Amino acid sequence: MSGYLFQGVTLGENEVSLRVQDGRIARISAAPLDPLPGEQIHQGGRITAPFAEPHVHLDAALLGARAPNKSGTLREGIANWSRLRAELTVEDVRARALETLEMYASHGTLRVRTHVDTGSLLAVETLIDLKTEALERGIELQVVAFPQEGILRAPGRQAQWEAAVALGCDAVGGIPHFERTAEEGWQSVRMAFDLAEKHGVMVDFHCDESDDPGARNLEVVCAETLDRGFAGRVVAGHCTALHSYPNPHAAKVIELVAESGVQVVANPLDNVVLQGRYDSYPRRRGLTRVDELWAAGALVGIGHDSVQDPWYRLGTADMLDPAYMLLHLGQLTSDAEMRRIFFCLSGDNHLAFGGPPELVEGARAQLLWWEDLDPVEILRARPVPLTLR
C-alpha cells in the first residue's frame, strides 16, 4: 500500500495527522496515526489548500523574448502583442499554455484563470479545448474572453468578443480604460454585463490600469454589480488608478467596492514595472490600495498576470513572487498583514472558482505541504511545496 502520512502537521489552526490514500484524504486525526507499509511520511510543517491564480494571460505566455518591450509601457506591450497575435498557431498556443500550467503546478498552483485575447478566436478555442486536458493533469482552468484592444475602438472587435464568449468562456472580460472615451468605457462595462447575463457567466475586467486619477470605470463596475445582483461574480483586475485618486474620492469608491462584492485583483509584478512610466520623480508604485480595501472589508486577490510575456519578461508562475512583491510595495509588513497575504493565495484567490477546496476526510487530496509552518518564513524564503494533485 502506498500513500502519504503527515504527522503533527498544522492544518488551519490545529495540529493533526493526515493520511492520503488513492488520491483522497483518508483520515484526519488529532492523535498520531500508525504508519502503513509504503507510506511516505512527513513530520511537522503546514498543510494548505493549493494556490489559485486569478489573473494570467496564457495565450501570450513565454513570448516576451520574441518581442522585447523596450519602453516598458503597457501600450508598447499591447502593440508588440498585437503583432505576435497574427502569427499564433494552435500548436504554439497549446504548447506554451501547457508548459506554463505545469510551471504553476510545480509551485503549488492548481487553479488558473486565464484571459485570452478575443482578437484571436484560434487562441480562444485552443484554451477552451485545453480545459479537459488540464483537468486530467490536476489543474482547473477557467477562460475569460478578453478584448485586449477594446470592443468599441474599431469595427469587428465587438463581434469577435461576442463570438468568443459563445464558444464557451467562463467569464466576459473588458478593458474600459482602453476604449476611446470615458463614455465608451462606461458603455463597454454595461455591454459586458449584458453579455454575461445572456450567457449566464461571470465578469472579469481589466479596470483602470492607469495612473490617471480621472479614470472612473471601477465605480461603474460596482454600480452595475449592485444593480444587477452580480455580487460574488465580478472581478476587477489592476485598479491602479485608485492609487492616484484624491483621498475623498478613493474613500467613496472603496466603500462602493466593499458594498458591491466586487473582488479587486492586484497584479504587483506587472504594475510596478508598467505604471509610473509617465512620472519623473517621485514615481508611483503602481499598486492599488490593498490596505484600505482590506480595512473596508473589500475582497482582494493577488495575480501573477504575466509569465515571460510582452509586458513582463521575468514571470516565474510562482504565486509567492507577486505575494512577496505586494508586501513590499504596499508596506504590508506587520505579522498579521504578511500572514493575510500568504493565506490569500490559498483562500480568497479561489473566489472565482467558488471558494477553496475543502481539506476534509473523503475529499480529493489536492493540497500543499510546507516543511516550515510559519507563513512569514515561507514568504521570505519562497520554498517549493510538496504538491499533491
CATH number reported for the structural domain that contains residue 11 in this entry: 2.30.40.10
Same domain? For 228 and 376 the reply is: no
Q: Are residues 306 and 237 in the same domain?
A: yes
pLDDT in tens, 350-376: 999 999 999 999 999 999 999 999 999
Region 252-267 average pLDDT? 98
Residues 76 and 221 in one domain: yes
**Are residues 242 and 365 located together in one domain of the fold?**
no
Q: Residue 356: what pLDDT?
A: 96
Regarding beta strands 234-238 and 299-302, do their DSSP bridges make them parallel or antiparallel, or are they unpaired? Answer: unpaired
Please state the three-class secondary structure of 7-71 as a single string. Answer: EEEEECCEEEEEEEECCEEEEEECCCCCCCCCEEEEECCEEECCEEEEEECCCCCCCHHHCCCCC
Instruction: Write down the pLDDT at residue 74.
Output: 83
On the CB side of 321, CA atoms within 13 Å amount to 19
**Unique residue bearing C-alpha cell 476587477:** 236
Q: How confident is the model at residue 300 (pLDDT cuts 50, 70, 90)?
A: very high
Shared-domain flag, residues 85 and 22: no
Judgement on whether residues 17 and 138 belong to the same structural domain of the protein: no
Among 12-21, 67-76, 229-238, which is the least confidently predicted range?
67-76
Residue 221 and residue 282 share a domain? yes
Q: Tell me, yes or no, whether 79 and 115 share the same domain.
A: yes
Mean pLDDT of the chain: 96
What is the average per-residue pLDDT within 27-31? 98
- pLDDT reading at 138 higher than 80: yes
* Least confident interval from 40-49, 76-85, 345-354: 76-85
Q: What is the pLDDT of residue 362?
A: 97
Q: State how many domains the chain has.
A: 2
Same domain, 311 and 241: yes
pTM: 0.96
Query: Tell me, what's the pLDDT at 170?
Result: 98
Per mean pLDDT, which range of 68-77, 144-153, 254-263 is the poorest? 68-77
Please indicate, yes or no, whether residues 66 and 39 belong to a single structural domain of this protein: no
Which grid coordinates belong to 217?
470605470
Average pLDDT over residues 245-274: 97
What is the pLDDT at residue 207? 98
pLDDT at 17 over 60: yes
Residue 297, domain CATH: 3.20.20.140
Which whole number is the average pLDDT over 211-231?
A: 97
Looking at the structure, do residues 237 and 281 belong to the same domain, yes or no? yes
pLDDT digits (tens, 9 = 90+) for 147-175: 999 999 999 999 999 999 999 999 999 99
In the predicted structure, residue 387 carries a pLDDT above the cut 90: yes
Query: What pLDDT sits at residue 262?
Result: 98
Catalytic residue from among 39, 209, 219, 224: 209
| C-beta separation of 361 from 26 below 8 A | yes
Least confident among 23-37, 60-74, 174-188, 196-210: 60-74
pLDDT at 70: 87
pLDDT at 77: 85
**Residue 209 among the catalytic residues:** yes
Cβ count within 10 A of residue 379: 18
| Enclosing domain of residue 13 | 3-44+358-388
Same domain, 163 and 266: yes
